[in-house]
Structure 1
Amino acid sequence: MADPLPIVVDLDHTLLRTDTLDESFVRALFHHPRAAATALLALPRGRLAVKEALAEGVPLDPAELPLREDLLDWLRDCAAAGHALHLCTAAHQTVADAVATELGLFVSVIGSRSHNLKGEAKAAALAELFPQGFIYAGDSRADLAVWGRAAGIVLVGAAPATAAAARRLGPPILAEFAAERATPRDWLRAGRLHHASKNLVVFVPLILGQGWRDIGQVMEAILAFALLLLLTSSTYLLNDLSDLRADRAHWSKRHRPIASARIPIRTALLAGVGGVLVALLAGFLVSVPLFLGLAAYLALTLAYSLGLKRVPLLDTLIIALLFGLRILIGVAALGQPVSGYLMTFALFFFFSLATAKRHTEILRAGPEGAAALAARGYRPADAELTLVAGVAAALGSLIILVLYLMHDAFLRVPYADPWWLWAQPLLIAIWMGRIWLLSHRGEMLDDPVSFAIRDRTSWGLGAAVGIAYLLAL
């Protein structure tokens, strides 16, 4: 009886749900820029030179890479049935060796070393190594050359056109593992469109300045909102790429579309960079102040993602500044003068809310969350500090709001009965008191802005603020 044929397995997008070259480049881009620059400079010397530069400058930890568990289970069954398993990939030899060592399944490991082992080059190498025949598991059109010389085909996440072409080659399809394509819901999650409510503060200058009476100003505010939404969604994609390692180590964030590789790294990077460029270009074409506001927002967001979010209290201050920039973008879109009172209120108000979220995280961290808390620069003993700083900022924001009403709003904007506006500081004080009560009890499970969207009491208080504004008109 003939021995079972050896099974040769590809690495990128086959054994792994991701591409190791993309993983290395993104890690270098966000955390080792010198290694990224070295890799880009190696481009004229070919793809293999880039792989070598990244393999040397940014070693990958195979334990962090997402695996295709369904394929692994099948391979283990095949090994138990007597098939010898071999890993053959166009990834650099050192990367292939690291993954193979982590899994401990493969008899041999063949990667790119002296030449890029892909397509015809891989087909020729395998035909020479296994003259008695072999089964090959792959995913891409480049694997068609290998499948053409194989005795059996295993399709792993292949596109429909690639799968159809493989079936026409002749060798039998021994197994097929479905592709995991990103759904529109995955893109909505990755772009955090459920956080779009945070960008609604762009309309604050329109409302307070009563610009809603002018359809032209309304359209300008809507355009600013759309551009900011595109920019923020794009930066969320880039932020997830920057946090890839940390997200995969997190109990819940590892299920995010990019961390789980449902959205490929290269696609996410192109979408993120492309969205940023489109938003900035469109903002520049609308007005220079709008462009400067969007550019400042981008710069501060990237600074936050690349390290400032790990500095205690500075992280919450930057979140407050980002909300302030959203308001300034609304001001820039309408060409209004900037209110110092309004901007100072926004800074204190949103600093308090951001600190409330951190306060809850500190209280709820517990022993199992200590590492994640430390990664953000906080300690359990910091709860007293975040409580004092956050509540003080809340009280400060209320004082500034009163000053805004007295010395700015009443003087610059015509109201028929402005005394109704005095209800607003009281209502906001009640809401902020509730936020901090829930936060100190450890019951604030989300950031306060997202919480308010789902909270009936917040909706009621918000409606009362709106009614007071309408009565003042």
Structure 2
Amino acid sequence: MPAAEMTMPQTEPQTDMTPLVLDVDGTLLRTDMLHENFWAAMGHDSRAALATLARDWQAPNRLKADLHRIAAPNVALLPLRPEVVALADAARRAGRPVYLASGSDQGLVEAVARRLDLPGDHFGSDDSRNLTGATKAQVLVERFGDGGFDYAGNSEADLPAWGAARRVIAIAPGSGLRRRLDALEKPVQIIGARPGFGALWRELRPHQWVKNLLLFLPLLVAHEFGAATVAATLLAVAAFCAGASAIYILNDLLDLEADRLHPEKRARPIASGALSIRDAMVASGVLVLLALALAWAAGPPVAGLTLLYMALSLTYSLWLKKRRWLDLASLATMFLMRVLTGAAAAQIAVPGLVLGFVFAVFFTLACVKRMTALARAVNGGHLPGRGYTRADLRGLERVAAAGIAASAALFLAYAFSGHSAALYDSQVVLAVAVLPLAAWLTRVVRLSEQGRENYDPVRFVTHDRTGLLIAALGAGLVLLAV
């Protein structure tokens, strides 16, 4: 009798419902919310932010909560890491729950979750706990069980959570961290690569260093080109390049939200997340020390002026740039300080007429910077982080016209002064150079009124062929006058 046939019951493959837990800072976001919160607080109330840091630096959970009370970063603008967002989207499509777990303040973590429409409870720091390292791992194990979740992180602080996870997802780990992950003997998924030096180099804005050629103006005015004089001025130029880059970084840290709302500045390394805030802060500190060391080598007066320049630049970033009209005088003064520092390095006295001319020219160019921004403004004519609206455009045009007139008058006064008589064979030819000067300034102002300039005046000036030809004509007339 044939054996009865037995049919095995058909079972459908089980769906993987293991929760996916995402670290936020440096993982889901290309930035760190504690650092973002600190600089948002600095931009809002620098005194309160620094007092909070001094009081709470040994209690990270309190520090995060107190900074959040002063000011919160705009979570909607924080740069996301697309690969991790795609990972979360894929998990949700598969029916898996996705949770956020971060050492950042609980309120900020929940704001990020709302931005991505992630339902459920999420995990952050509060007044009673700092959710990092072993504390984070313990909370996740209590909620999901040992090995009951997949975890995505980006640093050694995530090792305890990875150790308790079923599966490891690591964002751009270095070689040392990669070895420690391999030692966990768990499935490891690597996302992204470590950033190179390019983002930091762009943040230094080396194209802006052309401004520091103004330190050579005292040598040109006095016709002094001795080796010792040029060497001292070169040291001062190097100091200003380092100091200016340090302040550019601090300015970008204070301007994060405004830059992210800007059509072009949103691509800057810090605003886009290409350069971490911590790396930017370290670089700024190193550059300040380098600037002071180079300036001291050029002489104590140069060191003093360099320090004063950086202090004024920082004051501008914290306060002056938000004050309508006062910011224009501040920008012009910082250019004037370059000339004064070059004079101190070369030990040359610069005539007052030349100093007045420099101030008038750069006051005009400061107007141009604001006029360009207003002409190209997209959000109702308001400049985020600045004190101007489109209603100020006409006033800026009038002030710029006055600046052109003052520049021309001061140039002519110097051309026929006793100082120029001792240095130039033809004061008349020197005076004629005022025509291309006035033409160039007028051209720059008119283009800014039409919104045809770049947001970065230095980049525009150095790439404007017509403007460069006009400037070359002026320089040629000055040389003919010698």
TM-score relative to the length of structure 1? 0.91
Alpha-carbon separation, structure 2, partners of 1:101 and 1:360: 36
| Structure 1 position 192 matched with structure 2 position 205 | yes
Note closer, same or farther for the CA distance 1:105–1:462 as it changes in structure 2 (3 Å cut): same
| Structure 1 position 125 matched with structure 2 position 134 | no
1:85-100 maps to which residues of 2 (within 5 A)? 85-100=98-113
The 8 Å contact of residues 148 and 170 in structure 1, kept in 2 or not, is answered as: no
Bigger radius of gyration: 2
* Residue aligning to 1:139: 154
* Residue aligning to 1:207: 220
Unaligned runs of 5+ in 1: none
Alpha-carbon separation, structure 2, partners of 1:273 and 1:415: 45
SS at match of 2:355: helix
* Residue aligning to 1:338: 350
Query: What is the deviation of 1:465?
Result: 3.1
Note closer, same or farther for the CA distance 1:133–1:450 as it changes in structure 2 (3 Å cut): closer
Unaligned runs of 5+ in 2: 1-13
Q: Which amino acid aligns with 1:410?
A: S
Note closer, same or farther for the CA distance 1:145–1:201 as it changes in structure 2 (3 Å cut): same
- Indicate which of 298, 301, 316 corresponds to 1:286: 298
- Indicate which of 229, 253, 263 corresponds to 2:241: 229
* Residue aligning to 2:183: 168
Alpha-carbon separation, structure 2, partners of 1:14 and 1:401: 56
Measured against aligned partners, the alpha-carbon deviations of 1:194-237 in whole angstroms (never above 9, x if no partner) come to 1122221111111111112x011111111111111111111000
Alpha-carbon separation, structure 2, partners of 1:347 and 1:278: 28
Query: What is the deviation of 1:418?
Result: 5.0
* Residue aligning to 1:6: 19
Q: Which amino acid aligns with 1:307?
A: W
Query: What is the deviation of 1:67?
Result: 1.7
- Indicate which of 377, 390, 393 corresponds to 1:380: 390
SS at match of 1:16: coil
| Count of residues in correspondence between the two structures | 466
* Residue aligning to 1:393: 403
Q: Which amino acid aligns with 2:460?
A: F
* Residue aligning to 1:156: 171
* Residue aligning to 1:451: 460
Alpha-carbon separation, structure 1, partners of 2:137 and 2:370: 54
| Structure 1 position 320 matched with structure 2 position 335 | no
The 8 Å contact of residues 242 and 291 in structure 2, kept in 1 or not, is answered as: yes
* Residue aligning to 2:29: 16
The 8 Å contact of residues 15 and 67 in structure 1, kept in 2 or not, is answered as: yes
Identical-residue share of aligned pairs (%): 35
SS at match of 1:12: coil
SS at match of 2:21: strand
| Structure 1 position 431 matched with structure 2 position 456 | no
Note closer, same or farther for the CA distance 1:51–1:386 as it changes in structure 2 (3 Å cut): closer
SS at match of 2:99: strand
SS at match of 1:87: strand
Alpha-carbon separation, structure 1, partners of 2:289 and 2:41: 21
Note closer, same or farther for the CA distance 1:72–1:399 as it changes in structure 2 (3 Å cut): same
Query: What is the deviation of 1:343?
Result: 0.6
Deviates more, 1:186-195 or 1:377-386: 377-386
SS at match of 2:249: helix
- Indicate which of 320, 324, 346 corresponds to 1:308: 320
The 8 Å contact of residues 74 and 257 in structure 2, kept in 1 or not, is answered as: no
Measured against aligned partners, the alpha-carbon deviations of 1:270-312 in whole angstroms (never above 9, x if no partner) come to 2113312331343245323212321232232222222322333
Note closer, same or farther for the CA distance 1:414–1:179 as it changes in structure 2 (3 Å cut): same
SS at match of 2:269: coil
More helix by share: 1
Note closer, same or farther for the CA distance 1:408–1:229 as it changes in structure 2 (3 Å cut): farther
Query: What is the deviation of 1:472?
Result: 3.4
Measured against aligned partners, the alpha-carbon deviations of 1:78-136 in whole angstroms (never above 9, x if no partner) come to 12212122222222333323322333314321223433332233333323322362211
The 8 Å contact of residues 373 and 379 in structure 1, kept in 2 or not, is answered as: yes
Alpha-carbon separation, structure 2, partners of 1:374 and 1:259: 14
1:58-137 maps to which residues of 2 (within 5 A)? 58-113=71-126, 114-131=128-145, 133-137=148-152
| Structure 1 position 470 matched with structure 2 position 482 | no
SS at match of 1:327: helix
SS at match of 2:271: coil
TM-score relative to the length of structure 2? 0.89
Q: Which amino acid aligns with 1:178?
A: G
CA RMSD in angstroms, aligned pairs only: 2.4
SS at match of 2:270: coil
The 8 Å contact of residues 235 and 297 in structure 2, kept in 1 or not, is answered as: no
Query: What is the deviation of 1:265?
Result: 0.7
Q: Which amino acid aligns with 2:175?
A: P
